[in-house]
Amino acid sequence: MSRPMAPTDVDPFTSTEVYYARYRPGYGGGAIEYLQEKFDLDESSRVLDLGCGAGQITVPIAAFVGKVVGMDPNQAMIREAQTRAAEAGRDNIEWVVGSDSDLDEDLVPVRLTTMGRSFHWMDQERTLERLRSMTEPGGGVAILNDAEWFTRGEKRWQDEVYEIADEYIDDLPPRTGPVDYDDPWDEKLDAFGFHDVEVATFETEREWDVDSVVGYVFSLSYCSPETFGDEQEAFERDLRARLTDSEREPFVQRAETEVIAGRKQFGGIERENSG
């Protein structure tokens, strides 16, 4: 079941939806199990997956709780998530077309709100203020993130993928390699009224073939098929040729899933200096 909400601004992921659903990796069972244990999730729990994308968190976490609300501003992405849920046999998910600006009383209360690869798109301070009021005592929020290899990976094959994309797109974000955030999200959770904040890391090794590398590139907001326009086929042809000529398949990525989670205090203690 999906519940429509007011239209939002143009979505940067328009035209990526099929690729996002098929080629964006999940966060791994360890991260989901960690959240289940930290927040005592069970059949009585209600979870909000805000910015749910194609359901990479929504669907697996639904196995641990009574109800999940998957919320995303991109209706086509929601449809991909619904397909994922149907294939997994999950019928305890409600789908809502909306963003962090659409958080309302209909969603209250929630035991946990998850945000995967989405928090950086949001009005972060307003979102955390609203989520604190929506969360039941003892519940909390969790931000999940993983390595984005297109700009931050260190492998030569990743350099080559970027180099070819750079021939077609003028304003790609810079290829920086690993970088630290200037505004750590664990500190932000603590500043906005969540305590017992933890940063948990889960390591994994992923293998990519030519198809999945190409699909992943098209899942990125700044490399969407719409961004390439009429040159999408030419780019794909050049990229496939380069990857095939390299004869290095599979392409290996050592990745980390980071979970930043904080709990709402019992008694509803408010954040100091909230003004």
C-alpha dist (Å) from residue 41 to 36, 64, 151, 181: 5, 6, 35, 30
161, two tokens: 């993928």
Confidence of residue 6 (pLDDT cuts 50, 70, 90): very low
Mean pLDDT of 89-102: 97
User: What pLDDT is stored for residue 65 in this prediction?
Assistant: 98
Q: Are 16 and 218 in contact (CB under 8 A)?
A: yes
Q: Kindly indicate the confidence band of residue 10, based on its pLDDT and cuts at 50, 70 and 90.
A: low
Per-residue pLDDT tens digits for 206-262: 999 999 999 999 999 999 999 999 999 999 999 999 999 866 778 999 999 999 999
Q: What is the pLDDT of residue 267?
A: 60
Question: Whole-prediction pTM value?
Answer: 0.91
Confidence of residue 123 (pLDDT cuts 50, 70, 90): very high
pLDDT score of 273 more than 80: no
Phi and psi torsions of 34, nearest 5°: -60, -45
The residues near 233 (Cβ < 8 Å, ≥ 6 apart) are: none
Q: What is the pLDDT of residue 265?
A: 81
Structure tokens at 55: 């359901």
Residue 181's pLDDT band, with cuts at 50, 70 and 90, is low
For position 270, what pLDDT does the model report? 44
Residues 6+ apart with CB under 8 A from 72: 51, 52, 53, 78, 81, 96, 97, 98, 99
pLDDT digits (tens, 9 = 90+) for 161-179: 999 999 999 999 999 988 7
Domains annotated for the chain, with CATH where assigned, are 2-146+180-204+254-264 (3.40.50.150), 147-177+210-249 (no CATH)
Q: How far is it between the farthest Cα atoms of the chain?
A: 62
